[in-house]
């Protein structure tokens, strides 16, 4: 099927829509929502109608999952997937890891949440990390991003934000575990976790919520005009905040240019209001283009204010640093309340989705610092459909954008969008229905300079009738779409339920990661305790320190005696060398469940307040004598 026969014009989108004085199409609150089940009109001559339930017959299923004809995502038993997909866990506070294309969940990496199965939040090290990063009991992960070198994934780290509590975390991809969290000063609602590319020199936390800065009660609390939000630049190695930039309005999502000069954020609330009606008065908002070298030069020159021990540079529009022909932040007007922002793989354009407008804005990156009027940097504005949110790329010149209201993913030609008239629908190649109301989407390696161009995941906000009912809170729906055949078009391959509420994701080829199968003791801060080296010592009148090992069927000590009121520091090494031979130290009455993987050493500290006998057992099944793997903690009465 030719490209032209699959084009869609979506009649009815252009007429009857209010238009702002600036010429931008407007889709502000109050516009009637159009029906989103309209595959025939959307796809034109595409006979497959890949998003329709008529496709999902018994002969088109793989392992009981919905599968499109001609595309097989099955991975036979014992075989491995081609890709790792790192998906946000949303309000679970973790990161989900899928294998692609099977969509099998491999593991959930706890980040801002406790996880007893991995001992995260139960051993001293992870407890301290969570406590020192604010001590919150939950988080909201949104944007997992993998570190890059020379514009490609290097498999070292992943970074993810906490939208809820203004934090950023780093995940060590050797061990697939969180190893650092920073509580970002002067920022509430970190919405975005993106890098300065091509070599991950900085990690940017995009501050969304406007507050007084500093937010310590010393300023005007009731006047929103005095509030501000900041972009935070974080050192990816130390995880310290290097500097921040204060801006006008609220920021939303972010992405970095591929050569390291700019960092872009979408934005809303240019009115700087505190209510919905106030935030939606204007017809336009401003995308921010942060000029990183100029900001760093201002920091080096001392042109900042130190707030909560962080240099804060004034990047507001009326700042002296934004006057003249070398501003540190460019404010580029776009239709109201843009949402997703992403840089094309070739670094020519940054594409900003309209959200409340049916268009996306294509901004020429090289033109940003050359034009007198920032609006002139917008070189394309294709009309895509209702509710465009986020955009991904296949490396063949195509962009894929989610349409939240239309419940579709639209494929469009980037260069044709630049050549076409503004608000033209001619760049649209095809659309596919998704179920339902997609937010983010991600194509394989889309954030790198060389996307793979075969698989795409649409992370949908609603599932409704797609799965067995489980009560009022329905699962979300991650849908796998094949995009590798430009002639046959996009094909929906599989539904995969997810717990609320996922957001963004990254997909990395398996060849770029090298996870360890056992721990290297040299990578851990705690000393290794081998068989025969176990010790139990009273170091203070009310403190006992224990170092022991665990191996199949037994612990280094069969029993340990302490006194009522003692603080017990228990350090355990799993001396197994066989991969996948996990043990744990579970002491339920003292809220301890400390996982120890092969060659791993962990420590837990707790106080024994009540005399008695407390069994210690291994909570990970490890051998035929697993039930016999016990030890006793005997707490003798005081005195």
What does the pLDDT look like over 422-445, one tens digit per residue? 999 999 999 999 999 999 999 999
With respect to residue 558, please indicate whether it lies within any of the assigned structural domains.
Answer: yes
CATH number at residue 582: 2.60.40.420
- Position 569 pLDDT exceeds 60: yes
Q: Which of 61-75, 268-282, 548-562 has the lowest mean pLDDT?
A: 61-75
With respect to residue 612, please indicate whether it lies within any of the assigned structural domains.
Answer: yes
Kindly calculate the radius of gyration of the chain based on its CA atoms and give it in whole angstroms.
27
Q: Categorize the per-residue pLDDT at 382 as very low, low, confident or very high, splitting at 50, 70 and 90.
A: very high
Count of domains forming the chain: 1
Report d(CA 457, CA 442) in Å as an integer.
5
Q: Would you state the pLDDT for residue 542?
A: 96
> Pick the residue with more confidence: 189 or 283?
189
Q: Categorize the per-residue pLDDT at 551 as very low, low, confident or very high, splitting at 50, 70 and 90.
A: very high
With respect to residue 14, please indicate whether it lies within any of the assigned structural domains.
Answer: no
- Position 7 pLDDT exceeds 80: no
Q: Would you state the pLDDT for residue 50?
A: 34
Per-residue pLDDT of 234-245, as tens digits, reads 999 999 999 999
With respect to residue 103, please indicate whether it lies within any of the assigned structural domains.
Answer: no
Q: Categorize the per-residue pLDDT at 22 as very low, low, confident or very high, splitting at 50, 70 and 90.
A: very low
Mean pLDDT of 92-96: 96
Q: Would you state the pLDDT for residue 66?
A: 39
Mean pLDDT of 19-41: 36
Q: Categorize the per-residue pLDDT at 20 as very low, low, confident or very high, splitting at 50, 70 and 90.
A: very low
Q: Would you state the pLDDT for residue 25?
A: 41
Q: Categorize the per-residue pLDDT at 570 as very low, low, confident or very high, splitting at 50, 70 and 90.
A: very high
Mean pLDDT of 191-206: 95
- Position 175 pLDDT exceeds 80: yes
- SS3 label, residue 170: strand
Q: Would you state the pLDDT for residue 586?
A: 93
Look over the chain and give the mean of its residue pLDDT values, rounded to a whole number: 89
Report d(CA 460, CA 470) in Å as an integer.
18
Mean pLDDT of 552-581: 95
Structural contact between residues 272 and 210, judged by C-beta atoms closer than 8 angstroms: yes
- SS3 label, residue 433: strand
Query: And the tokens for 277?
Result: 């009606």
With respect to residue 133, please indicate whether it lies within any of the assigned structural domains.
Answer: no
- Position 278 pLDDT exceeds 70: yes
Q: Would you state the pLDDT for residue 626?
A: 79
Q: Would you state the pLDDT for residue 103?
A: 97
Mean pLDDT of 230-236: 98
Q: Would you state the pLDDT for residue 6?
A: 37
Q: Is the alpha carbon torsion for 304, 256, 502, 82 positive or negative?
A: negative
Q: Find the domain containing 562 and state its range.
A: 521-636
Dihedral angle over CA of 204, 205, 211, 216, nearest 10: -100
**Which residue in 176, 94, 112, 120 sits closest to 594, CA to CA?**
120
**Which residue in 319, 265, 309 sits closest to 290, CA to CA?**
265
pTM metric for this prediction? 0.89
Q: Would you state the pLDDT for residue 276?
A: 85
With respect to residue 616, please indicate whether it lies within any of the assigned structural domains.
Answer: yes
- SS3 label, residue 304: coil
Per-residue pLDDT of 348-374, as tens digits, reads 999 999 999 999 999 999 999 999 999
Q: How far is CA 636 from CA 492, 560, 613, 632, 639, in A?
A: 64, 11, 9, 12, 9
Q: Which of 59-63, 166-170, 277-281, 556-560 has the lowest mean pLDDT?
A: 59-63
Per-residue pLDDT of 292-339, as tens digits, reads 999 999 999 999 999 999 999 999 999 999 999 999 999 999 998 889
Q: Would you state the pLDDT for residue 17?
A: 39
Q: Categorize the per-residue pLDDT at 69 as very low, low, confident or very high, splitting at 50, 70 and 90.
A: low
Report d(CA 172, CA 519) in Å as an integer.
12
Query: And the tokens for 291?
Result: 């000029």
Per-residue pLDDT of 503-527, as tens digits, reads 999 999 999 999 999 999 999 999 9
Q: What angle do CA 117, 121, 126 make, to 5 degrees?
A: 120
């Amino acid at each position: 099927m030719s490209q032209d026969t699959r084009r869609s014009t979506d009649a009815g989108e252009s007429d009857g829509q209010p238009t702002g004085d600036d010429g931008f199409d407007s889709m502000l609150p109050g516009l009637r929502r159009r029906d989103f089940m309209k595959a025939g009109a959307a796809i034109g001559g595409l006979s497959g109608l890949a998003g329709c339930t008529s496709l999902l017959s018994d002969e088109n299923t793989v392992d009981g999952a919905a599968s499109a004809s001609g595309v097989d995502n099955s991975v036979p038993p014992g075989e491995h997937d081609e890709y790792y997909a790192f998906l946000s866990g949303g309000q679970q506070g973790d990161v989900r890891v899928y294998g692609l294309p099977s969509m099998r969940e491999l593991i959930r990496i706890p980040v801002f949440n406790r996880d007893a199965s991995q001992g995260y939040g139960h051993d001293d090290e992870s407890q301290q990390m969570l406590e020192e990063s604010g001590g919150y009991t939950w988080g909201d992960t949104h944007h997992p991003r993998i570190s890059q070198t020379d514009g490609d994934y290097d498999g070292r780290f992943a970074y993810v934000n906490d939208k809820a509590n203004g934090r950023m975390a780093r995940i060590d991809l050797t061990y697939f575990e969180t190893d650092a969290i920073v509580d970002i000063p002067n920022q509430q609602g970190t919405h975005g976790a993106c890098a300065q590319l091509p070599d991950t020199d900085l990690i940017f936390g995009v501050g969304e919520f406007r507050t007084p800065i500093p937010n310590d009660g010393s300023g005007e609390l009731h006047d929103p005009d005095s509030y501000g939000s900041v972009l935070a630049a974080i050192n990816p190695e130390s995880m310290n905040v290097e500097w921040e930039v204060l801006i006008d309005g609220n920021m939303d999502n972010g992405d970095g240019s591929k050569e390291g000069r700019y960092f872009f954020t979408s934005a809303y609330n240019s009115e700087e209001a505190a209510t919905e009606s106030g935030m939606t008065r204007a017809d336009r908002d401003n995308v921010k283009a942060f000029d990183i070298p100029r900001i760093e030069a201002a920091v080096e020159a001392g042109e900042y204010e130190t707030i909560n021990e962080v240099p804060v540079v004034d990047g507001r529009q009326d700042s002296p640093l934004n006057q003249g022909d070398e501003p540190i932040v460019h404010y580029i007007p776009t239709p109201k309340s843009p949402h997703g922002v992403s840089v094309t793989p070739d670094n020519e354009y940054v594409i900003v989705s309209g959200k409340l407008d049916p268009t996306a804005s294509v901004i020429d990156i090289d033109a940003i610092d050359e034009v007198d009027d920032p609006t002139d940097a917008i070189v394309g504005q294709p009309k895509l459909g209702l509710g465009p949110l986020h955009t991904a790329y296949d490396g063949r010149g195509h962009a894929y954008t989610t349409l939240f209201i239309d419940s579709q993913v639209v494929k469009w030609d980037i260069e044709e969008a630049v050549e076409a008239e503004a608000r033209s629908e001619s760049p649209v190649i095809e659309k596919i229905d998704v179920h339902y109301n997609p937010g983010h989407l991600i194509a394989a390696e889309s954030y790198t300079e060389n996307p793979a161009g075969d698989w795409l995941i649409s992370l949908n906000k609603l599932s409704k009738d797609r799965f067995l009912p489980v009560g009022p809170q329905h699962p979300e729906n991650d849908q796998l779409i094949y995009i590798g055949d430009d002639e046959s078009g996009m094909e929906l391959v599989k539904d995969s339920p997810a717990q609320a509420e996922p957001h963004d994701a990254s997909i990395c080829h398996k060849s770029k990661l090298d996870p360890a199968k056992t721990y290297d003791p040299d990578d851990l801060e705690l000393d290794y305790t081998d068989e025969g080296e176990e010790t139990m010592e009273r170091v203070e009148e009310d403190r006992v320190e224990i170092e022991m090992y665990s191996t199949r069927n037994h612990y280094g000590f069969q029993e340990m005696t302490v006194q009522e009121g003692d603080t017990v520091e228990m350090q355990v090494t799993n001396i197994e060398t066989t991969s996948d031979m996990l043990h744990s130290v579970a002491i339920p009455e003292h809220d301890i469940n400390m996982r120890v993987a092969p060659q791993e050493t962990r420590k837990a500290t707790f106080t024994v307040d009540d005399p008695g006998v407390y069994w210690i057992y291994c909570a990970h099944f490890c051998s035929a004598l697993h039930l016999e793997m016990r030890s006793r903690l005997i707490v003798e009465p005081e005195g």
